[in-house]
Structure 1
Amino acid sequence: MSDLWMPGAEILDIGDHAPTDGGPAKAVAHVTWDKNATKAKPADLVPYGTLKTYFGSNASGRAVAPHVLWDPFTGRVAQFVPANSRSKSLADRAGGTRTNRAGSVVIQVEALFFPWCRVNGKTYESLVDTPRKGWDELHAWVASWGVASSWPMGKPNGFVGKRDERIWRMRSGWYAHAQVPENDHTDPGSWPDFPAASKPGSQTKQYEPFPGTAWFSMGRKSPIVARMHDRLVAVDCNRYQSSANKDVIGSGDVASYEAWQRHLGYTGSAAKWPPGPASWSKLQVPKS
């Protein structure tokens, strides 16, 4: 079963959960667009913490909260409702398609961004110009819920709306806010490419896929554990007392992996054992 809460995300459960209607799994791409800036007059990006508090604690923000807020400059993610609940970031008129519920999941992602925002003195015209930190992990979590890595109405290219309710009802994939029926917003304007999948026989280095949270049980013996051990040492997160029995999960693995998660910026429960898919992907444990 896929994770209801994205591994590595900060959980701010607003508690307003409701089921979706079933059908093709979807994700919806938004940007927060909390300021209107121009090339001539750029504006400082609104702090991540401000938007996190708005969606997580403010009554007006909770009423329009997405599933996740994603900061493409730092990779931070906050999540407000579980994947299998509807969220409320889409307009939903009575009598039409239930936009926020129209799929087995309708995972809504708000990227912290507006055109011509300024971060550390640099101005960014479009979302694809940002560092896009955390996108691979976010995409992997969304894909784990059956959302196709495609844009049924076309990848966002400019702030224009193109809506086809038939496609919306019938096809799984990612949709721009500008493409959702009953909505009049034109965001996100652009969106990162989907991560390239490794192809059999390619020269791309192959890494061990995430084996699942339950796999990381104390005492498990596997060559994957030994390769994880070596990678944790290589990234300067060595908290091992020795290298004896390094193919068996023990307390040294727990301490070393938690050091790795802290190195990535995770805090609190997100930095605790066991590993999650986001931090595992970044560790790049090689296949044999």
Structure 2
Amino acid sequence: MRVEDTFYVVVTGDTLFKIATRFNTTVEQLQAWNHIPDPNHIEVGQQLLVAKSPSGFVPFPGAAWFKAKPNHPIISLMAVRLVEEGCSAYGPNGGQTQWDDEDRRSYSLWQQKLGFKGDDADGWPGEKSWDKLQVPFPQFE
């Protein structure tokens, strides 16, 4: 968690709309930042990212997020960055929103480019390599 990011813990009576209004953002942006598929379902006690770091890049979502095989626009944005960095193991349909083996192979190439070896270049993102990739936040109009 970065100091520049602002987090909020959901309390009884909160809705994404109320939280978005309070923090001057949108429901859609809160959904993207927090991987919330249903805007009508948040839990009391849930910690939400409500304001992003001034860097403009997605903070590391944690290793477990990738291992859960997320289906999220962040995966496509990550793929674009990997291709830009010359670290693509994507086939003709690669770079979709679902984390898959092509993403893992491509991310391994990124880790190797950074000088990681062995288990440190296994294709599972870590905070150091993720921060260096600088994946931009999804933008919603």
Q: Could you state the TM-score of these two structures normalised by the residue count of structure 2? A: 0.57
Does structure 2 conserve the Cα–Cα contact (< 8 Å) formed by 1:218 and 1:250?
Answer: no
The one of 233, 238, 243 equivalent to 2:83 is 233
Segments of structure 1 that go 5 or more residues without pairing to the other structure are 3-139, 144-199
The higher-RCO structure (CA 8 Å, 6+ apart) is 2
- Amino acid aligned to 2:65: W
- Match for residue 22 of structure 1? none
- Once the two structures are superposed, residues 232-284 of structure 1 have per-residue CA deviations (whole angstroms, 9 ceiling, x without a partner) of 00100011012356101111101000000000000111111311000000000
Alpha-carbon distance in 2 for matches of 1:227, 1:201: 16
- Give me the whole-angstrom Cα distance separating, in 1, the residues matched to 2:121 and 2:95: 25
Task: Determine which structure has the larger helix proportion and give its number.
Answer: 2
Structure 2 residue runs of 5 or longer lacking an equivalent are 4-50
Q: Once the 2 structures are TM-superposed, how far is the Cα of residue 201 of structure 1 from its aligned partner? A: 9.5
- Within the alignment, does 1:208 sit opposite 2:90 as a pair? no
Alignment partner, residue 71 of structure 2: 221
What stretches of structure 1 move > 4 A for 4+ residues in a row?
A: none
Q: 1:281 to 1:253 in 2, by over 3 A?
A: same
CA distance in 1, matches of 2:113, 2:81: 14
Deviations 1:200-219 (A, max 9, x none): 799x5400000001000264
> Larger strand proportion, structure 1 or 2?
1
Counterpart CA distance in 2 for 1:282 and 1:264 is 9
What amino acid maps onto 1:263 in structure 2?
A: K
- The offset of 1:230, in angstroms, is 0.5
C-alpha RMSD of the superposition: 2.6
Give percent identity, aligned residues only. 37
Q: Residue 259 in 1 paired to residue 109 in 2?
A: yes
User: Are the equivalent residues in 1 in contact too, given 2:94–2:102 (CA < 8 A)?
Assistant: no
